[in-house]
């Protein structure tokens, strides 16, 4: 598969990206607004070309545990779902983190709580970035703001997941998933062969106890509390390393801004327009877009905020990421939240009005 430029939906490009990134297996369950990912894979039939396995599981509980199995064997495996489905996966995600298994999960968020709506939302920041499952664990979380990033982050997520032996999440939403944009599909990379997997991951993966090596065991149970604590220290060291090395972000007109908006994903696209509306009225607004939500770009936000009069965190939620923005910026200037909820999407005009009423007119 050569490089191509196409007009595609965010969800559809995830399927293309999986095949072209050398993914070994996709295990999923239908849920709006992300089902096109598995539908596109079933149309692409990669089992006939690259040998990639695509399987519709009986539930999200099963599909996340299929990832646990596939990742145990050193394979590049992924799944996708949307908010209620990710709730079901949280047990498995905790086990994946506890067993240090690399895999990729795409979460195309919709409005909640409960069955909620099928419209876009960003109300699962807490669930995905802060935990969701039990125990002290973190996930690498990438937040795409375009169809191209939906494509690019699949390969990046696999790279990071295997680099750190940890699950990586692409935290998207129904707007990015359903939107069509121009996208560059890159030349396909081949899947790893069995012998490559044995060479690269043979020290931990279930490749079969060959050539006299010791048996490999994938487990998250350590009954001795001191052994479990030692392992938890190891996990925390890994997360500190990720924080040092993997922070990614984007800025727009922040050099001279008086008012800083912090937003990711769909909200960042909307806030880019707000910056323009504000600048047209002589208000110096800027946008900081975290690309990684864990690791969170705290220092970088603090640096930009240091010359601002106030910060507005904009998310389609009741205010979740704003807590991390406050921790980054501190208490010496206002750090406020604005956002529509439950599947409603804020317009640039609504955000601009909020920016003026909550920050600009208060100064």
The site for other proteins (CB under 8 A) is made up of 24-25, 27, 53, 55, 57-59, 61-63, 65-70, 72-73, 75, 77, 91-92, 95, 99, 194, 206-211, 215-221
Burial class, 172, CB count within 10 angstroms (exposed 0-12 / middle 13-18 / buried 19+): buried
Compute the distance between CA of residue 72 and CA of residue 217 in angstroms, rounded to an integer. 9
- We find the least distance from the C-beta atom of residue 298 to other proteins, in angstroms, to be 33
Closer residue to other proteins in complex, CB, 19/351: 19
Closer residue to other proteins in complex, CB, 110/191: 191
Are β-strands 77-81 and 25-28 bridged in parallel, bridged antiparallel, or unpaired?
parallel
Compute the distance between CA of residue 282 and CA of residue 5 in angstroms, rounded to an integer. 38
Closest to 272 measured CA to CA, from 286, 282, 283, 260: 286
- We find the least distance from the C-beta atom of residue 89 to other proteins, in angstroms, to be 11
- DSSP-assigned states of every residue in 170-181: EEEEHHHHH-EE
- We find the least distance from the C-beta atom of residue 99 to other proteins, in angstroms, to be 8
- We find the least distance from the C-beta atom of residue 116 to other proteins, in angstroms, to be 23
- We find the least distance from the C-beta atom of residue 45 to other proteins, in angstroms, to be 15
C-alpha separations of 113 from 61, 76, 124, 141, 342 in Å: 19, 31, 9, 21, 8
DSSP letter at 184 equals E
Cα dihedral sign, 54-58-59-65: negative
Closer residue to other proteins in complex, CB, 42/61: 61
- 247-276 burial code (b ≥16 CB/10 A, e <16): bbbbbbbbeebbbbbbbbbbbbbbbbebbe
Closer residue to other proteins in complex, CB, 2/210: 210
Closer residue to other proteins in complex, CB, 42/55: 55
Closer residue to other proteins in complex, CB, 148/216: 216
Contact 104, 161 (CB under 8 A): yes
Closer residue to other proteins in complex, CB, 67/329: 67
- We find the least distance from the C-beta atom of residue 265 to other proteins, in angstroms, to be 29
- We find the least distance from the C-beta atom of residue 91 to other proteins, in angstroms, to be 6
Dig out the tokens for 300 from the structure. 């970088």
């Amino acid at each position: 598969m050569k490089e191509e430029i196409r007009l595609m939906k965010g969800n559809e490009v995830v399927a293309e990206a999986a095949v072209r990134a050398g993914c070994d297996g996709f295990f999923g369950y239908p849920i709006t607004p992300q089902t096109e990912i598995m539908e596109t894979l079933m149309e692409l039939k990669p089992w006939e070309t690259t040998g990639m396995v695509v399987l519709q599981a009986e539930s999200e509980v099963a599909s996340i545990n299929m990832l646990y199995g596939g990742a145990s064997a050193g394979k590049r495996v992924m799944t996708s779902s949307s908010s209620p489905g990710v709730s079901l996966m949280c047990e498995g995600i905790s086990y994946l983190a506890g067993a240090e298994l690399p895999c990729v999960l795409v979460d195309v968020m919709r409005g909640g709580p409960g069955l909620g709506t099928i419209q876009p939302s960003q109300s699962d920041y807490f669930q995905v970035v802060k935990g969701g499952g039990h125990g002290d664990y973190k996930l690498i979380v990438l937040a795409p703001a375009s169809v191209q990033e939906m494509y690019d982050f699949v390969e990046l997520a696999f790279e990071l997941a295997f680099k750190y032996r940890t699950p990586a999440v692409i935290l998207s939403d129904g707007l990015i998933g359903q939107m069509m944009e121009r996208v560059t599909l890159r030349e396909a990379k081949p899947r790893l062969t069995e012998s490559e997997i044995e060479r690269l991951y043979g020290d931990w993966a279930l490749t079969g106890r060959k050539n006299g090596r010791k048996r490999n065991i994938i487990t998250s149970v350590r009954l001795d509390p001191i052994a479990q604590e030692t392992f938890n220290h190891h996990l925390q060291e890994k997360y500190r390393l990720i924080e040092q090395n993997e922070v990614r972000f984007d800025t727009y007109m922040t050099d001279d801004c008086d008012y800083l908006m912090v937003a990711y994903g769909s909200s960042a696209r909307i806030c880019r327009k707000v910056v323009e509306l504000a600048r047209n009225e002589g208000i110096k607004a800027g946008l900081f877009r975290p690309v990684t939500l864990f690791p969170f770009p705290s220092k970088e936000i603090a640096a930009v905020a240091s010359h601002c009069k106030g910060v507005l965190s904009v998310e389609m939620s009741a205010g979740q990421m704003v807590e991390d923005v406050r921790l980054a910026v501190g208490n010496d200037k206002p750090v406020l939240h604005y956002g529509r909820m439950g599947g409603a999407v804020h317009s640039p005009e609504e955000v601009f009005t909020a920016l003026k009423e909550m920050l600009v007119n208060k100064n």
